Structure 1
Amino acid sequence: MPETHDLTPGSQGSQLPVISLFSGAGGLDLAVERVADEPLDIPRSATLGPFRVAVATDYSSQALETLALNLPGTAILPSDIRDTPSSELLRMGSLQEGDAALVIGGPPCTPFSKSGFWLAEKRESRDPNASLLEEYVRVVAQTRPEAFVLENVQALTYRTHQVAFSRLLAALKELGYNPQWKTLLAADFGVPQLRKRVFIVGRRDGTAFEFPEATHAGPSETTRVWDQSKLPHVTAAQAFQGLIGVPEDGELVEGKYGDLAAEIPGGQNYLWHTDRYGGRDEFKWRSRYWTFLLRLSPEKPSSTLQAQPGPYVGPFHWENGMDEAGRQRARRLRVPEMLRLMTFPDDFQIVGSRADVQRQIGNAVPMELGKAVLRALSLQLGHVEPRTEAEHEALDRRQRRSILV
């Protein structure tokens, strides 16, 4: 019978080892180690949970430096997974085949991301990086964890990538893991961001994983009617509560579109400056990407944070700043604000320049979304105890009160 862990603060127990692939800055890793934390707990102090990330690997040594700062007990291996034997991962984690409770990770989403969709090789799933999905399967096959969690962009499930996606599911099924998949909206799990990600989860015993029910609901690009009994989506303004504004170098949007960006209201984008809205008639209708000159609405969750945005790609803050010439200028999101939109801890440390920080955050898994999936898996594997009805009610009341603050 699997060992169970109480999720109440201060609980103790031997922690189960996890192998992390394509770890990046450690969003999913953080979710693994904080799965015992209450949702959206601010300050987000860690509670001892059932898992520990024994070893993490990624091609980016800089991202692993970030991970090491925040998860100092994890062995890190900067390497290309295609050149990394599973035996080396097991050795560094002091593990044998079958020891790991989980293998987790999100193979780089470049082959399947909308941001690169215009390239023919990406549209046709011919990008060589698509083979990284096969590397993930290889590690699962050779380490035999109790379960795995694979995360990727929603576009992986599109018809244009059907061959690669079907091959991935078939390979995992052949291993006996009975993979289940679902596209989840981060905002439906308390993340103040309208970010969609697909999760594939499988168990070594072949039992079908059941995805968690959404805890929040609200409007989105594809939703106009929603469950009013659930908690409302967390807005950007609510996420930023309590932050002390400290200007960052380069945060103001200058250059060719500086004046235009500053005039766009919160929640609008370049379309404000077409003949259909109240701004200047500068652009043709639907002639740019949606994120071009996009401003956050304080009353809604953020759109997806971009990993490598151009100089005029949002979302930008709804408030303006003042440049040295005394002109109003839209401003970029500050690092503490981006951390809040990803539901990362306020004290999360990130290595590198401002562009490095944005890339690492934009490529990460929002912590609360990862926690929702991993908590459901932990419950179904018997590694944690479910909350009592009274605990559920108390948590619901606390969350509803926080929304009204």
Structure 2
Amino acid sequence: MSDGIPVLSLFSGAGGLDLAVERADAEPLVPSDPGTRLAHVAVATDYNSPALETLAKNFPRTHSINGDIRTLDSADLLGAANLKSGEPVLVVGGPPCTPFSKSGFWLEQKRESRDPNASLLDEYVRVVKDTRPEGFILENVQGLTYKTHKAQFDRLLKSMTELGYNPQWKVLLAADYGVPQLRRRVFVVGRRDGLAFEFPRPTHSGWSEHTRVFDTSLIPHVTAAQAFEGLESPATNDEYVAGRYGELASEVPPGGNYLWHTARNAGRDEFEWRSRYWTFLLRLDPNRPSSTLQAQPGPYVGPFHWENMRTPEGDQRARRLRVNELLRLMSFPDDFDVPDRKVDTQRQLGNAVPLELGKAVARALLTQLGYIRPVADTRARILVSN
């Protein structure tokens, strides 16, 4: 097992969950620690070729397949990994979240859960059925658990139960595991032996938009300012928010949004109360984790940095987050190789699983499967040899 225990990755994107699995035994909250390479993503597949190009740069040992999962035979997937059914230790992946995301609820087909991409959950089940891994990890947006998508979610759980995997699911907040981002995602995890998976306990806590009650005995949430410590990067003229809204955004205080410019607050009376989505003109609060990074934000959708910058004309404007800041908010290593175009980086990171959140789930599963020995005060010890 010189290459590490084998993992099959579906809907891989740029490789956030893949990186988490390969670094499952790395020191928590140390993005630069690669671990002992206990696990190895043998093959990864996605329909998005730019994302797979990013994955290839960061996972040179992984064989990647670019194509539609609906036309990919499981035997071909196993063959590319040089594996037989029953040999993969894990199948991991996050089917595209678009059908279940709140951002698409203005479309009738999404409100009624008729998006054809929802069938990709069934493709995930098919691959698990055909490859018979020891365990699986499926990640998606919290919206998958909403009543609107109950039929699809129940079918997923029923199918995995019928395969003997006893699936367990839970919505996890990334900030509760050391990620400087208030990002909620649902994880569905199952074991081939039928034992119930136990989710990892939070290591951090703090208040969020959902609750003001939290466990003060845990480590406080990592703030955006803490995440950006030590970063140095030159400003560029194309990163400020232009136009009238850029001027308004520059006046919004840290942690605020367009509501600052309503009759109820001290800014300009420009907008009706709750007339926009809350991320409109949103600024980071340096003393709080970031809000969720979006894959395809509009030009005036935040979060923007709490600091302003000057335009070539000398005007104050809000500034967009830089690539190294996006990496930090995703708890990715600073040297993660991203696309040259900022828009591609934003899309790929916005669709990815934050590293520390993924590590926590993968570490818990590999520990419960017997591949990692839990040690309370030091790095987990490996039970199998690489």
Q: TM-score, normalised by structure 2?
A: 0.96
The residue aligned with 2:155 is: 167
Match of 2:308 among 314, 320, 329: 320
* CA–CA separation in structure 2 for the residues paired with 1:84 and 1:246: 44
Q: 2:27 maps to which residue?
A: 38
Counterpart for residue 74 of structure 1:
62
Contact 1:248 1:334 survives alignment (8 Å): no
- The 8 Å contact of residues 62 and 352 in structure 1, kept in 2 or not, is answered as no
Residue 14 of structure 1, CA deviation: 5.9
Query: Is 1:181 aligned with 2:169?
Result: yes
2:212 matches 1:213: no
Aligned-pair CA distance for 1:249: 5.1
Cα offset, 1:49, TM superposition: 3.2
Please list, as runs of the form range in 1=range in 2, the aligned pairs for 1:53-92 lying within 5 A after superposition.
Answer: 53-92=41-80
Matched residues in 2 for 1:311 and 1:152: separation? 25
Specify the alignment match of 1:387 in structure 2: 375
> Is 2:8 the partner of 1:19?
yes
Letter in 2 for 1:331: R
Structural RMSD (CA): 1.2
1:99 aligned residue: 87
SS of alignment partner, residue 219 of structure 1? coil
| Matched-pair contact (CA < 8 Å) for 1:154–1:196 | yes
Partner of 1:29: 18
Aligned partners of 1:230 and 1:45: how far apart in 2?
23
Higher mean Cα deviation, 145-154 or 33-42? 33-42
Q: Does 1:112 align with 2:100?
A: yes
Unaligned regions of 5+ residues in structure 1, if any? 4-12, 393-405
Q: Residue 359 and residue 167 in structure 1: after superposition, are their counterparts in 2 closer, same or farther (change >3 A)?
A: same
State which of 223, 226, 230 in structure 2 corresponds to 1:235.
223
- The count of corresponding residues between Structure 1 and Structure 2 is 379
1:373 maps to which residue? 361
Mapped contact 2:178–2:204 kept (Cα < 8 A): yes
Indicate conservation of the 8 Å contact 1:103/1:147, yes or no. yes
Q: Is the 1:343–1:366 Cα contact (8 Å) retained in structure 2?
A: yes
Equivalent residue, structure 2, for 1:10: none
Find the counterpart in structure 2 of residue 294 from structure 1: 282
The one-letter code matched in structure 1 to 2:276 is R
Cα deviation, residue 351, structure 1: 2.3
- 1:354, CA displacement in angstroms? 1.4
Structure 2 unmatched runs, 5+: 380-386
Task: Give 1:132's match in structure 2, choosing from 120, 140, 143.
Answer: 120
- SS in structure 1 opposite 2:40? strand
Pick closer, same or farther for the CA change 1:14–1:357 going to 2, 3 Å: closer
Write the distance in 2 (CA, Å) between the matches of 1:60 and 1:380. 33
Structure 1 pair 136–325 and aligned structure 2 pair: CA distance change class (3 A): same
Measured against aligned partners, the alpha-carbon deviations of 1:165-186 in whole angstroms (never above 9, x if no partner) come to 1011101111110000000000
Shift of 1:45: 3.2
Distance across 2 between alignment mates of 1:249 and 1:360: 23
In structure 2, how many angstroms separate the alpha carbons of the residues matched to 1:249 and 1:239?
Answer: 24
Q: CA deviation at 1:256?
A: 2.8
Is 1:278 aligned to 2:266, yes or no?
Answer: yes
Query: For residue 13 of structure 2, what is the amino acid of its counterpart?
Result: G
Deviations 1:81-103 (A, max 9, x none): 00100011101111111110000
**Alignment-mate amino acid for residue 106 of structure 2:** W
Change (3 A) 1:363 1:249: farther
Alpha carbons 1:322, 1:329 under 8 Å: kept: yes
What is the deviation of 1:278?
A: 1.2
Give the 3-state SS of the residue equivalent to 1:165 in structure 2.
Answer: helix
TM-score normalised according to structure 1 size: 0.92
* CA shift digits 1:208-257 (9 cap, x unpaired): 00001000000001110110000000000000001003224521000231
